[in-house]
Amino acid sequence: MEKKVFVITILSLFAIYTCNAQNDSSRSKNDKKNSKSVTNAPLQFNTFKDTVSYLIGTDLAKNFINNQLDIDINYLKAGYEDVLNNVDTIFTDQEFQSVMQKLQKIAMEKSEAKRLEEAKLNKEVGQKFLESNKNNPGVYQTPSGLQYKVIKMGEGPKPTSTDKVKVHYEGKLINGKVFDSSYERGEPIEFGLNQVIPGWAEGLTLMPVGSVFELYIPSDLAYGDRPIGEIPAGSTLIFKVELLEIVK
């Protein structure tokens, strides 16, 4: 079988797993230029090829472990060497594609299960926060579950659900981590109330122009079970929002 099969295999593995390598914060800072193989024979890294070969091996192994993929190193090595030595592999291209599709499906199912579990846990933590927060002085809760606190009450008109507004804002998680801020960028943002998450749309209609509110938004009124950027799935969000004007 042609060498392209080996190339496709590596690319497929990287397509499925390499995205997780960037999130692997557990990489050792104590890597040594002199290491030992599984045979306990010392490894000497004399060329760039030596280093690249070793690091690709460690990266693949870490990704396999992170994704709980059960790999038999002997079969992995056998498949690699067969292709490298121009030996016809046991499986046809069609069989290869079928197995890779199944592998992708398994990886996606595991990823989805993990996301849903994280969302469930985050929603539970968020609900506990909101249950406690609603009893704090100055905090109000609407029938939808949105909570808000008036920091400054403006004297202008209130926007409607079809209006476009200009605001400054800071968004953070309930642990205090800031994930977005127009204040930091030094520039307010304009948007229609029909273009934002439900918690924002509702909260802004409560605010006269010139107001500064703090909004406490349950996940169902935010991004739900979807992770968005630095926002984990199922997160309750806190926004400081300053309504500057209704844009005509």
Q: 24-51 pLDDT, tens per residue?
A: 444 444 444 444 555 556 888 999 999 9
**Given this model, what pLDDT does residue 1 score?**
44
Assess whether pLDDT exceeds 60 at residue 11. Answer: no
Q: Is residue 108 part of a domain?
A: no
Write out pLDDT tens, residues 159-207: 999 999 999 999 999 999 999 999 999 999 999 999 999 999 999 999 9
Task: Mark whether 180 is an active-site residue.
Answer: yes
217-233: per-residue pLDDT in tens? Answer: 999 999 999 999 999 99
My answer on whether 138 and 242 are in the same domain is: yes
Question: Is 6 part of the annotated catalytic residue set?
Answer: no
* Six token digits for residue 80: 């690699």
Q: Residue 7 has what pLDDT?
A: 43
Task: Name the residue with tokens 């690709």.
Answer: 56
pLDDT cut 70: percent of the chain above it: 83
Q: Which domain holds residue 30?
A: 4-90
More confident residue, 183 or 109: 183
Q: What is the DSSP letter of 138?
A: T
**Distance from C-alpha of 134 to C-alpha of 149, rounded to nearest angstrom:** 10
Helices (H), the chain: 4-17, 48-66, 73-84, 93-133, 182-185, 198-205
Catalytic member of 217, 223, 231, 238: 223
- On whether residue 116 sits in a domain, the answer given is no
- In degrees, rounded to 5, the angle at the alpha carbon of residue 125 between the alpha carbons of residues 124 and 129 is 115
Residues 80 and 141 occupy one common structural domain: no
Q: Which of 91-100, 162-171, 238-247 has the lowest mean pLDDT?
A: 91-100
Separation of alpha carbons 47 and 50, rounded Å: 5
CB–CB of 44/91 below 8 Å? no
Catalytic residue among 174, 197, 228, 246: 197
> Residue 6 and residue 27: Cα distance in Å, rounded?
27
For position 228, which CATH number holds?
A: 3.10.50.40
| Selected catalytic residue, list 59, 82, 163, 180 | 180
Same domain for 78 and 140, yes or no, is: no
64 is catalytic: no
Tell which of 62, 90, 118 closes a domain: 90
Q: Do 229 and 170 share a structural domain?
A: yes
Per the residue annotation, which of 179, 191, 220, 225 is the catalytic one?
Answer: 179
DSSP of 83-96: HHTTPPPSS-HHHH
Helix, strand, or coil (residue 164): strand
Which of 30, 65, 90 is where one domain is finished? 90
The domain total for the chain is: 2
183 catalytic? Reply is no
Q: How far apart are the first and last CA of the chain?
A: 66
Query: Residue 194: inside a domain, yes or no?
Result: yes
Q: Do 226 and 168 reside in the same domain of the chain?
A: yes
The reply to whether 166 and 226 lie within a common domain is yes
Catalytic status, residue 75: no
Task: Tell me, yes or no, if 223 is annotated catalytic.
Answer: yes
Whether residue 236 lies inside any domain: the answer is yes
Tell me: do 85 and 143 sit in the same domain: no
- 22 part of a folded domain: yes
Nearest-CA neighbor of 241 among 223, 216, 218, 224? Answer: 216
Residue 34, number of CB atoms within 10 A of its CB? 8
CA dist 130 and 235 (Å) reads 12
Percent of the chain residues topping a pLDDT of 90:
62
CB 218 within 8 A of CB 127: yes
Residue ending a domain, among 90, 116, 149, is 90
pLDDT band at 98 (very low <50, low <70, confident <90, very high): very high
Give the model's pLDDT for residue 8.
45
Measured between alpha carbons, how far is 238 from 181 in angstroms, rounded to an integer? 12
Residue 103 lies in a domain: no
On the question of pLDDT at 10 being above 80, the answer is no
Give the per-residue pLDDT at 67.
75
Which residue of the set 169, 217, 231, 238 is catalytic?
169
207 CB neighbour count, 10 Å cutoff? 24
Measured CA to CA, the distance from residue 219 to residue 215 in angstroms comes to 12
Q: How confident is the model at residue 123 (pLDDT cuts 50, 70, 90)?
A: very high
